Structure 1
């Protein structure tokens, strides 16, 4: 072998060694300011009281919404035969707006949202809203606190249908839940940060402080979308606060997992992942093409959220179109090719009233702009997201990849992040908004996972007792 050959072999060996070390190295946890101030101006002494809160939108705000809805919408005619591939269909939008204007009753829906007690408390300079649903007393079950975290374009409204299922004692479970549903900072009735940097890690710290203030030193956490990302960060940065983490959207794709994903494009079927999941990923060109088509909004949010926020915060029609289009496509991609995006179908898995409840929360709180800023904070140059993704956690994990969600991470790739996977399931039905679409399936998945964790904890405690 000549000198150039030897140099090439050495170079390839060094490169392979570097890649192997890089893929298997664990970065240190980013610095987390234990007491930041996200409110206006300089830090002030905060009131740590938990205050009762009731959703009670002033009559003038409801009348203002009605007046805006009464204005004839300026809807551009849709192209022939495109269905939802260009976004919201104008004919469908006209029907929905008529229903919102003439039939939907916010005050009745407000009463429904107030069925559970609501509260606010001040943390790190911000008023944080949460709803609490507790089980009946005297059930004889172990009561565990469960933090439920929503995402975008959702809100605490996502969980109205699943709360009774989680707080009602069941014969097949030794556990029942005391559920805390917050509004994320900058969403709904929680105050928005006045300073940049409110990313998922910052929210994770606020959520752990919230649970501690309520009286829970340790709890379970569950989330999808951004709620999943925040739950990831709680498990990574504050593992001692958790009994376990359950998510219905795995966000953490470590460098090692991404390398495997790429290799899977060239290796025989079944080498990298369960063959039944391969059609969701391969060919990669198709997957990334769909991603580019569906994620344009995320690029906008991550770069100039305040600009589009002006339009969405000024027009309820525009806000509804923007959010409803996501509910259509993210529930099931098949709705792209239906004239009404599925939204007006009698078997669409989420009721129009529930979706309008969610939109009204954004509208009445004026929170669409601040909610979109989370993308900018997450994808920004100073974001700790990639570092947090690549720090593994041993917190017991329950992972559910619903069949119609935007992406379903295979268990072996998720295992690069989660080193203690208790349950991994792929329900065939249900999409991105699982708590609204298939609340029973999601609740059953949570109960199965938690009961396994509880049995393991009892066994570990029994072994410790025997040793002592």
Structure 2
């Protein structure tokens, strides 16, 4: 080898080595302005009052909703035998709309939502809505009340927590804790105001929700979430570890500095079971063709919302039937992937784990607040920010409880999750449930959360 070629190869090795070292290093936390203004116009003096709020859709808005719902349907007949493999089946949608028109009673459902107190407070220029459920210790002995922040995702809302709240606020067998629960609407979702300015992502949401808990008097607290709620909860544990007593999640987004995680995933596809991934965990990832197929089939909405949220939002915000078709298809498939092969997507089966009324409550929240566009923007802001990957590559060192549900879109082995969560206190595989676990299996989520927090409280 000539000296010039030797020097060239040496230079390449040095550059590659430097880049690999750079990729493997833990990046710094992203810098956030401590007091930004996300509301319309110029910054103003912030009103820090906490005001009682009641969900009370006006008669005018309700009449408009019913008029749009009553419009003749313009649905294309479903393909023979297609079921839900092409998306929302038009025959099923007709049946759901018939029920929505004739039997569903928003005022009755609104009263159910108002059975818990609601509030609003302004943070960083945004009116933030939250529902609260206080602990009920009663005559129970040796039971401690601890604060808990519950964070929803997309396309669900605070509706997803109504069934689990009694299981969290009242003493449960085998647990020495109960919870004072705060359920916020993510900014841009439901009754929380959306940002008027570009750049408000899940990272900025984390700062807003920490400020919310501080304003309520909670300097330290537990946090739980799924979907976006899981990402925001994990963000909070990474960025504000002194505030978070423990983080419990049921949806997982795991990356690592450099290529470690991806290399392990690829190696596991070729090496014998047990070398990289335990034998009992093989079906969580392999064959990779199934995983990649799922990603291609079920994430089209994500690409659309990450690139053109206002376009899809404008289409869905014109008619509640269109909105229902878009959202209900996600509830069908993400609850159980085999539902795509059922004529009704499982939605009208007696054993579907979420009642039709609860599903329609959730859609009505999006409809009456016109928040489908602003909720979709969270994807665009998150995927377009440079800080997105930076925070992913920082581990979470706060105590973590991981609940694994069998029908979740992406399931990862514990040794993979350990790349992100460095202090796993509980890791439990659940017998049933999918992406919307708090709505589908509230008892399983509550038991797992009680177990996680009780374990931590008993060791402190």
TM-score (norm 2): 0.95
Aligned pair in 2 of structure 1 residues 389, 84: CA closer, same or farther (>3 Å)?
A: same
Aligned pair in 2 of structure 1 residues 10, 423: CA closer, same or farther (>3 Å)?
A: farther
Q: CA offsets, 1:26-52, max 9 Å, x none? A: 001111111110000110011100000
Compute the displacement of 1:17 (Å): 4.3
Pick aligned residue for 1:402 from 390, 401, 405? 405
Aligned pair in 2 of structure 1 residues 8, 280: CA closer, same or farther (>3 Å)?
A: farther
Query: Which residue in the other structure is 2:303 paired with?
Result: 299
Aligned pair in 2 of structure 1 residues 339, 441: CA closer, same or farther (>3 Å)?
A: same
Compute the displacement of 1:7 (Å): 7.9
The reply to whether residue 182 of structure 1 matches residue 178 of structure 2 is: no
2:136–2:178 contact (8 Å) kept in structure 1 = no
* Aligned counterparts, 1:333-372, within 5 A: 333-372=337-376
2:137–2:170 contact (8 Å) kept in structure 1 = no
Structure 2 gap ranges (5+) = none
1:61–1:364 contact (8 Å) kept in structure 2 = yes
Compute the displacement of 1:13 (Å): 6.4
* Partner Cα distance (2:423, 2:22) in 1: 22
Q: CA offsets, 1:426-450, max 9 Å, x none? A: 2131000000000000100101111
* Aligned counterparts, 1:442-461, within 5 A: 442-457=445-460
Let me know the Cα RMSD of the aligned residues: 1.9
Pick aligned residue for 1:221 from 220, 223, 233? 223
Q: CA offsets, 1:57-107, max 9 Å, x none? A: 111111111111111110101111111110000000000000001000000
Query: Which residue in the other structure is 1:192 paired with?
Result: 194
* Partner Cα distance (1:23, 1:85) in 2: 40
Task: Classify the secondary structure of the residue corresponding to 2:45.
Answer: coil
The reply to whether residue 285 of structure 1 matches residue 289 of structure 2 is: yes
1:377–1:383 contact (8 Å) kept in structure 2 = no
Compute the displacement of 1:10 (Å): 5.8
Query: Which residue in the other structure is 1:60 paired with?
Result: 60
Query: Which residue in the other structure is 2:69 paired with?
Result: 69
The reply to whether residue 115 of structure 1 matches residue 118 of structure 2 is: no
* Partner Cα distance (2:413, 2:5) in 1: 40
1:253–1:413 contact (8 Å) kept in structure 2 = no
* Partner Cα distance (2:10, 2:177) in 1: 58
Task: Classify the secondary structure of the residue corresponding to 2:180.
Answer: strand
* Partner Cα distance (1:20, 1:279) in 2: 31
* Partner Cα distance (2:12, 2:163) in 1: 56
* Partner Cα distance (1:12, 1:453) in 2: 49
1:199–1:383 contact (8 Å) kept in structure 2 = no
Compute the displacement of 1:301 (Å): 0.1
* Partner Cα distance (2:420, 2:7) in 1: 36
* Partner Cα distance (1:7, 1:449) in 2: 56
1:136–1:168 contact (8 Å) kept in structure 2 = yes
Compute the displacement of 1:24 (Å): 3.3
Query: Which residue in the other structure is 1:413 paired with?
Result: 416
1:303–1:376 contact (8 Å) kept in structure 2 = yes
Query: Which residue in the other structure is 1:326 paired with?
Result: 330
* Aligned counterparts, 1:97-116, within 5 A: 97-116=97-116
Query: Which residue in the other structure is 2:267 paired with?
Result: 263
Query: Which residue in the other structure is 2:34 paired with?
Result: 34
* Partner Cα distance (1:49, 1:316) in 2: 34
* Aligned counterparts, 1:24-173, within 5 A: 24-136=24-136, 138=138, 139-140=140-141, 141-173=143-175
Aligned pair in 2 of structure 1 residues 70, 352: CA closer, same or farther (>3 Å)?
A: same
1:159–1:435 contact (8 Å) kept in structure 2 = yes
Compute the displacement of 1:453 (Å): 1.0
* Partner Cα distance (1:133, 1:219) in 2: 15
1:257–1:414 contact (8 Å) kept in structure 2 = no
Aligned pair in 2 of structure 1 residues 195, 80: CA closer, same or farther (>3 Å)?
A: same
Aligned pair in 2 of structure 1 residues 152, 12: CA closer, same or farther (>3 Å)?
A: same
1:23–1:256 contact (8 Å) kept in structure 2 = no
Q: CA offsets, 1:361-415, max 9 Å, x none? A: 00000000000000001111x3412111111121000011211000012211111
Between stretches 131-140 and 89-98, larger displacement belongs to 131-140
2:285–2:412 contact (8 Å) kept in structure 1 = no
Query: Which residue in the other structure is 1:463 paired with?
Result: none
TM-score (norm 1): 0.94
* Partner Cα distance (2:163, 2:398) in 1: 28
User: How many aligned positions are there?
Assistant: 456
